[in-house]
Amino acid sequence: MKELFPLFASVILLGACDITEEASGTTNVDNELIFSHFFPDNHIQETELVSGFIDETEEATEGRVTFTSYPGGQLADPDGHYEAAATGVADAGFSVHSYTPGQFPLTSVMELPFMSGSGSTGSETLWQLYEEFPEIQDEYDDTVPLWLSTSEPGYIFTRDEPVERPEDLEGMIIRSPSPEVNNWLEMMGATPVSMPMADTYQALQQGVVDGTVGPPHTLVDYSLHELVDYVTVGDFYFTTFFGVMNQNSWNSIDEEDQEAIKEIMGEETARTAGEIIDERSDEAMEAAVESGAEIIELNDDKLEEWEEEMQPVIDDWINRMEEEGLPGEEVYKRADELGDEQG
């Protein structure tokens, strides 16, 4: 019996170790990370894009790298998620570029009119520009970009009065998503009001604004279809998004897992982000029609009129970039070329 005791003791000890490791739940996890963004927890950007990226990362690294999402602006305001990721308040952040005007000058090329026909092609174009131009990479040099993407093309939504021609905007107060949109609204005689999309419903309801420029998916994601009377269809602008990671957090991941994540991030996730938003756009337009909104489709002659009126905005953007020593003309031409190729 004495001879058997060491064997029993070893078995018990090994079993106890297994139980302890199982209970702790940490044997497989090397990195438990925080992902911060402002979209509500029921928003498609959270339920499909962020959650999908988290699931794919965990699967690709066999559970060694995990993220916990903090949606709804729990850790930062809408304009603070890049800074949160850069400074380590969060390990990763996701938000809209135009919430911090001037911080991403060349990236804003995709906020110009008529750059692409869909969110998927716009997103692929933006990521390709990032890969091709070191000057765009410099805009993110204190983080590791996980993806860059765009919305579907932005339309004009109005109450009471339709917009078919540029002059129809004269005298209107329109919510604007970005400085680039401000420029062409002002050129057409409208008064732009900058505000987050989350505040737009109340502004429309109370008559603070006559309309808004926005991508179609916002019609349902922010319930704007309940208030909008007219939707003017045109490739008037894009909202652009970033998903970025803290540099130290990235460096804490071992090389093998970094390589696995690289297969997911970048162009792959950018395309997915665009496809998700395009699908949502179709649903939103159906909801707007069911709610009684009139859809205004512009014929070729009217579109040409809009393009002529908006060309000075494009020229102004190029000139501003060049004055700052940035390759504005080269970036714009390449973006236009990529849009045509993928269009």
Mean pLDDT of the chain: 90
- Which pair of tokens denotes residue 287? 């909801």
pLDDT (mean) for 295-314: 93
242: left (phi over 0), alpha (psi -120 to 50) or beta: beta
Q: In b/e form, how buried is each residue of 84-94, taking b as 16+ CB within 10 angstroms?
A: bbbeebbbbbb
pLDDT of residue 272: 95
What residue spans define the domains of the chain?
28-151+239-280, 155-238+292-342
Q: Is the pLDDT of residue 25 over 50?
A: no
Query: Distance of alpha carbon 271 from its chain centroid, rounded?
Result: 12
pTM: 0.85
Reported as a pLDDT band with limits 50, 70 and 90, residue 198 is confident
Percentage of the chain beyond pLDDT 90 is 82
Residue 308 confidence (pLDDT): 93
Q: What is the pLDDT of residue 343?
A: 57
Instruction: Quote the CA–CA distance of 176 and 174 in Å, as a whole number.
Output: 6
Q: Predicted confidence band at 56 (pLDDT cuts at 50, 70, 90)?
A: very high
Domains 28-151+239-280 and 155-238+292-342 share a fold: yes
CATH value of 28-151+239-280 in 3.10.270.10, 1.10.10.1200, 3.40.50.2300, 3.40.190.170: 3.40.190.170
Side chain identity at 281, as an amino acid letter?
A: S
Strands (E), the chain: 31-37, 65-70, 92-96, 143-150, 155-158, 173-176, 191-194, 211-214, 230-233, 240-246, 294-297
How large is the average pLDDT for residues 44-72? 96
Considering only 6-20, 219-233, 317-331, which range has the smallest mean pLDDT? 6-20
Burial class (CB in 10 A: 0-12, 13-18, 19+), 78: middle
pLDDT, position 29: 65
The first and second tokens of residue 27, run together, are 């044997």
Q: Which residue(s) pair with 194 in the sheet?
A: 176
Q: Report the C-alpha gap between 318 and 299 in whole angstroms.
A: 28
Fold for domain 155-238+292-342?
D-Maltodextrin-Binding Protein; domain 2 (3.40.190)
Instruction: Give mean pLDDT, residues 72-96.
Output: 96
97: closest CA among 85, 82, 77?
82
Confidence of residue 178 (pLDDT cuts 50, 70, 90): confident
pLDDT at 26 over 70: no
Positive or negative torsion for Cα 143, 95, 90, 146: negative
Contact indicator for 321, 104 with CB cutoff of 8 Å: no
Of the candidates 153, 161, 195, the one whose C-alpha atom is nearest the C-alpha of residue 177 is: 195
The pLDDT confidence band at residue 196, using thresholds 50, 70 and 90, is confident
Give 99-153 pLDDT, tens digit per residue: 999 999 999 999 999 998 899 999 999 999 999 999 999 999 999 999 999 999 9
Identify any residues that bridge with 192 across adjacent strands, giving them in sequence order. Answer: 174
CB atoms within 10 A of CB 292: 10
Q: Which ranges of 151-297 would DSSP assign to H, the alpha helix?
A: 179-187, 200-205, 218-221, 247-251, 255-262, 267-290
- With 60 as the cut, is the pLDDT of residue 19 above it? no
For the cut 90, the answer to whether the pLDDT of residue 221 exceeds it is no
- CA 297, CA 240: separation in Å to the nearest integer? 24
Query: 30-39: per-residue pLDDT in tens?
Result: 789 999 999 9
> For the chain, what percent of residues have pLDDT higher than 70?
91
pLDDT above 60: residue 16? no
Which DSSP letter does residue 114 get? T
